[in-house]
Structure 1
Amino acid sequence: MRAVCLTLPTNRECAATIAAIGAEAAYAARRFGVRVHLLILDSADPATYRRHAEAVAALRPATSGAGEVVVHHLDEAAQRAFLHDVIERSGVADPDRLLDLMLPDAVSYGACTNRAFLLAGALGCASVHRRDSDGAYQLLDGETVFPIEHELATLGLKAADVVAAVTETTLDPVHADKPVALVGGSFIGELSVDIGEIRELDPDAYHQVVALWAPTGAGEQEKRELVADSFTGAGTEPFRQDRAVLDLPDIWRIDMCNVALDHEVYDRVPLPPATATIGSDYFLLHLVRDATLPGVVHNRHIVNYYTPERRTGAGFTAYQLRYAKFLLSMLYLYPVYFEMEAAGGALLDEAHHVRADVIADSARRSAATDRAENHRRLDALDHHYRRLGGKYAEFADHLAPQRARLLDEAQADIEDFALLIDAWGPLMRASKATSADRLPR
């Protein structure tokens, strides 16, 4: 039986999301006759974990028609034990450092998904399907609209063989023999990055703050287009009928709350493990497209909403810091993106597998990028936040004494990414060799 991993990383209360994703897992098992490993990676506090455990216990029975659902609800202790075992058996150098990169003390969007990749390997899964704790599913005529419908109908199959499963094909026939490596949709509702309040307070400041993530030397028209497209997803239009396009994927129409990746991609390259940095989990979307691997982009969009802690007090400060670190990360990610785009199909070997060593070398070179642009970004962010006043000015005061540390961390993050890519092959092989009795449940 084909096994797939439907994963929900979380560090906040989301019992309702667990119930909803459990229903998606049951739907997938029933509809496609697959074994769905529903993997909940839980970094929440003990009281919240217990509420999540109650939500897991309330899920429907594990067997559903021709398929089945197996639930794994892992706290950080269980995740750490699994990682320690895999890292030890992999034989990689500096195991303590690798464990820190895989399970850091701070929030890491890339690291939590990397843990899902390794666990999916241990569970024998052909793909990982990721959802987020601050999203919900749409309804059509009272029926839930599950993204996994498109994911399981196309992912991993040869592109030429999925034409009948999509509504539109614009893929160049030269790619028809390659596997579908990525299937994804976007979201409707609030911006994916919680800076909509800035747009309401001062549209010009919003433009300037968002434009800071443009590449060095970008022109004004390029910045305007970037700002118009950034963080908006699919807008607010609700789902009415399916649309799924087979092509080299338009990654601007895909969000990480609504994505599935074939194992042939994440078996070879992980995500950047940067901490407290939004957007650090989007790297593989760029890699799939730049390497000329086919994808399917659909319109079964997730409903995005905000959790209250992002907008007040310590939660606001933490989130705005993640946005600042996102801006700084682009200094080092853009050179890698540009090199991948220039390489195109040369990023793949004869079997259409990504050449991980090329990506690692590019990341290492990028670490030497001059920091002048990041100094400018911090200066501009400070200026516009002080201009906004109130809690934004207070955040600027909080950010100012941390500048040197944040600049150092941004460079260290890309160096850590190269290190993790180098170790990833041995880690994935050790994970796949994990015996059933060593797997956490």
Structure 2
Amino acid sequence: MDKICLTLPTNRACADTIEAVGREAAHAAHHFGVEVHLLVLDSADRPAFTRHARAVHTAGLAPGVVAHHLDEAGQRAFLRAAIDRAGLAGPERMLALMLPPAVSYGACTNRAFLIAAALGCRSVHRRDSDSRYQEQNGEPVFPIGQELAFLGRKAADAAGSVTEVLLAAEHTDRTVAMVGGSFVGVPSVDLTDLQQRAPDVHREVIGLWAPAAWSEQERERLVDESFKGAGTEPFTHDRTVLGPVDPMRVDMCNIAFHHEVHERIPLPPATDTIGSDYFLFHLLYHAGLPGVLHNRHIVNFHTDERKTGAGFTAYQTRYAKFLLSMLPFRFLHERMAQEGGALLDGLHRLRAEAVSGLVRESTALDDEENVHRLDTLTRSYRTLGGAYARTAESLHRQGPRLLAEARADMEDFAHLIDAWEPLVHAARTTPLHGKGRP
């Protein structure tokens, strides 16, 4: 029986979401005959963790579902064992990249990738704590149905089952590496207050993630579609498209990767930033690996902790770091587009050494563009007063450190890519300590 990993990383109270993901796990096990390993990686406080434990336990009672609920201590024990087994130089640095003390969307998903390898899963299906499922006729619309229908199939075999094929003929012998959808509802990046308070400032701030060389018209088009997912139109019927999947049309709350993807290349482990976990979307797109885009979009919502006080400043700092990360990532997107099929080996598998080489190239970029981004952001926020002005002063003080971190994040990423193959190999034979009750 095939094993799959349905994972939810969280650092906040989300028992209702865990219950809903548990129902998706049960649906997959019942309808597709797979063993679903429901993996909740939990960094929430103890009261929330206790509520989560009850939800995970209940989910694991469904036939065909094996539930795992790991706090950071349990995750750390597994990682230490896998890192030691891999015999990697600098084990403490590797542990810090896999389980940093700060928030890292890439690192939490990398942990799920490694644990999935330990569990023998052929795919990883990722969901988020701040989302829920759409419904049709009173029933939830689970993305996992589309993910399991297509993931890992030869594109030529999947072509007859999709709504539309946009794949080059020479790529039909390749495996469907990713299946994903987007979200509906509020934008994925929570700048709603800024948009309501100062629309012009909002557009300027959103536009900062465009390449510096873009025209004003190109920048405006990017602003108009940024962070909006699939809009607000509710689900009515299935639509699937086989081809290279536009990274702007999928989201990490609604994605599944074949193991040949995430066992070869990890996600950037950058901390206190948003958007770093989207790297694989761009890599697969430029390498020419097929994907299926579906319309079983998940409903996104915003939680309150990022809207006031320290939470507001922390979230705005993450957005600032996202803007600074665009300098190396835009460079990488351009270089990956140039490399194209050279990012794959003769068996159409991702070449880790090619990717890490490009990442290292990005560390030599001049910071001038990022200095301008940071100056523009702080100037824009100062004009608004209040919490925005305080955030601007904080960003100004931290400016040199933030600029240095944007470069160091890519150095760390290249280091992790180079270590990833032996780490995954070691994880496959490392027992998962502290796993939850099945």
What TM-score does the superposition give when structure 1 sets the normalisation length?
A: 0.97
Separation in 1, partners of 2:342, 2:229: 30
Letter in 1 for 2:341: G
RMSD: 1.1
Instruction: Specify which of 238, 241, 248 is matched with residue 244 of structure 2.
Output: 248
1:278 aligns with 2:274: yes
Structure-to-structure mapping, 1:294-373, within 5 angstroms: 294-373=290-369
- The Cα of 1:439 is off from its aligned counterpart by 7.1
Structure-to-structure mapping, 1:425-440, within 5 angstroms: 425-435=421-431, 440=435
Separation in 1, partners of 2:382, 2:313: 14
Residue 44 of structure 1 corresponds to 44
Provide the secondary structure at the position in 2 that maps to 1:54: helix
Letter in 1 for 2:359: A
Residue 400 of structure 1 corresponds to 396
With 387-396 and 108-117 compared, the bigger mean Cα shift is at 387-396
Separation in 2, partners of 1:412, 1:358: 19
Separation in 2, partners of 1:219, 1:348: 33
The runs of at least 4 aligned residues of structure 1 exceeding 3 Å deviation read 438-441
Question: Does the CA-based 8 Å contact 2:59-2:65 persist in structure 1?
Answer: no
Separation in 2, partners of 1:250, 1:59: 33
Letter in 2 for 1:53: A
- The Cα of 1:165 is off from its aligned counterpart by 2.7
Per-residue deviation, residues 274-300 of structure 1 (Å, max 9, x unmatched) = 000100100000011110000001110
What TM-score does the superposition give when structure 2 sets the normalisation length?
A: 0.98
Separation in 2, partners of 1:260, 1:434: 23
Separation in 1, partners of 2:398, 2:91: 29
1:293 aligns with 2:251: no
Letter in 2 for 1:440: K
- The Cα of 1:124 is off from its aligned counterpart by 0.4
Residue 218 of structure 1 corresponds to 214
Separation in 2, partners of 1:408, 1:47: 37
Instruction: Specify which of 92, 101, 105 is matched with residue 109 of structure 1.
Output: 105
Separation in 1, partners of 2:102, 2:225: 29
Letter in 1 for 2:197: L
- The Cα of 1:251 is off from its aligned counterpart by 1.7
Residue 117 of structure 2 corresponds to 121
Letter in 1 for 2:217: Q
- The Cα of 1:61 is off from its aligned counterpart by 2.1
Per-residue deviation, residues 12-44 of structure 1 (Å, max 9, x unmatched) = 000000000000000000110001000000011
Separation in 1, partners of 2:61, 2:94: 37
Instruction: Specify which of 176, 180, 189 is matched with residue 185 of structure 2.
Output: 189
Per-residue deviation, residues 151-182 of structure 1 (Å, max 9, x unmatched) = 00000110011123322112121111000001
Residue 8 of structure 1 corresponds to 8
Separation in 2, partners of 1:333, 1:91: 30
1:415 aligns with 2:391: no
Separation in 1, partners of 2:434, 2:331: 38
Letter in 2 for 1:23: R
- The Cα of 1:60 is off from its aligned counterpart by 6.2
Provide the secondary structure at the position in 1 that maps to 2:9: strand
Residue 231 of structure 1 corresponds to 227
Separation in 1, partners of 2:55, 2:309: 29
Separation in 2, partners of 1:112, 1:256: 12
Matched residue count: 436
Residue 253 of structure 2 corresponds to 257
Gaps of 5+ in 1: none
Letter in 1 for 2:24: E
Percent of pairs with identical residues: 59
Question: Does the CA-based 8 Å contact 1:122-1:439 persist in structure 2?
Answer: no
Q: Aligned pair in 2 of structure 1 residues 123, 439: CA closer, same or farther (>3 Å)?
A: farther
Instruction: Specify which of 167, 173, 177 is matched with residue 177 of structure 1.
Output: 173
Gaps of 5+ in 2: none
Letter in 2 for 1:389: G
Per-residue deviation, residues 79-123 of structure 1 (Å, max 9, x unmatched) = 000000000010111000000000000000000000000000000
Residue 18 of structure 2 corresponds to 18
1:387 aligns with 2:401: no
